[in-house]
């Protein structure tokens, strides 16, 4: 069955996953990680894409972004992908592809899933056993969101600003959300929806989106829970 075209809609948050080909590492050291961050910052600005959260794992990365235009996200991902592969192949004296095909992405309903998606992204290194606490991991947006560092790459979403009236209040409230974590069913929904490209949100949210596109937004009726398939490779 042919893949459905990706759907990108300006002004909505999108959860993005990009994986290394055949589970190969996409970064080998901190120099690579710094290069990827620099490319994100450059091209997010060029194509007017706000990055709310990110994490760079060894063989994949996650982004939570809101593009200003329908074309902004695919243009940013193409520019970053091509530039990073050229850099990576030259530096590590290799040839060939680095990415596992095209990136995966889906639209999410802000009110129900944006903060949950941020938490999901921040907890990736913990789930993978790389660190005990998300604040121990340098290569994510988490430390910025809890006030430990200032990260120019991150543009806070309005819902993050709504967590408190002061920076300290927002950071403390978000840290508590991360500490509470997510139920397994919620983690599964966030993972599977991004991998499949299905919209994630309420029936009203999906119905409103469906009016603007002929692309099918759900595998079945709105509200049907996503099912994990045993053959699908799922990143953390």
Out of 3.30.70.1290, 3.30.70.260, 1.10.1740.10, 2.30.29.30, select the CATH number for domain 14-203. Answer: 3.30.70.1290
Per-residue pLDDT at 98: 97
| pLDDT confidence of residue 227 | 44
The CA angle 50-225-195, to the nearest 5 degrees, is: 45
SS3 string of the chain? CCCCCCCCCCCCCEEEEEEEHHHCCCCCCHHHHHHHHHHHHHHHHHCCEEEEEEEECCCEEEEEEEECCCCHHHHHHHHHHHHHHHHHHHHCCCCCCCECCCCEEEEECHHHHHHHHHHHHHCHHHHCCCCCCHHHCCCECHHHHCCCCCCCCECCCHHHHCCCCCHHHHHHHHHHHHHHCCCHHHHHHHHHHHHHCCCECCHHHHHHHHCCCCCCCCCCCCCCCCCCCCCCCCCC
Give which of 144, 134, 131, 111 is closest to 181, Cα–Cα. 134
Res 218: pLDDT: 76
Q: What is the pLDDT of residue 89?
A: 98
Indicate the pTM of the whole model: 0.89
For the chain of 236 residues, list the mean pLDDT of each consecutive stretch of 10. Answer: 71 96 96 98 98 98 97 97 98 95 94 97 97 97 97 97 96 97 94 90 88 74 42 46
Closest CA to 38 of 75, 84, 97: 84
Say if CB 55 and CB 61 are below 8 A apart. yes
């Amino acid at each position: 069955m042919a893949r459905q075209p990706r759907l990108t809609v300006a002004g909505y948050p999108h959860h993005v996953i990009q994986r290394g080909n055949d589970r190969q590492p996409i970064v080998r050291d901190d120099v690579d990680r710094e290069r990827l961050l620099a490319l994100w910052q450059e091209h997010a600005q060029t194509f007017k894409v706000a990055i709310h959260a990110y994490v760079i794992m060894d063989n994949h990365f996650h982004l939570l972004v809101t593009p200003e235009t329908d074309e902004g996200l695919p243009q940013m991902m193409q520019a970053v992908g091509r530039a990073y592969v050229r850099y990576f192949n030259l530096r590590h004296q290799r040839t060939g592809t680095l990415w596992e095909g095209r990136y995966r992405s889906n639209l999410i309903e802000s009110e129900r899933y944006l903060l949950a998606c941020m938490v999901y992204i921040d907890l990736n290194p913990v789930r993978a056993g790389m660190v005990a606490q998300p604040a121990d991991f340098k290569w994510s947006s988490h430390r910025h969101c809890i006030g430990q560092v200032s990260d120019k790459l991150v543009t806070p979403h309005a819902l993050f600003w709504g967590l408190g009236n002061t920076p300290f209040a927002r950071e403390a409230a978000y840290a508590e959300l991360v500490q509470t974590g997510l139920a397994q069913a919620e983690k599964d929904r966030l993972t599977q929806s991004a991998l499949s490209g299905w919209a994630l949100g309420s029936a009203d949210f999906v119905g409103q989106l469906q009016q603007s596109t002929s692309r099918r937004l759900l595998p079945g009726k709105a509200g049907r829970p996503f099912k994990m398939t045993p053959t699908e490779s799922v990143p953390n």
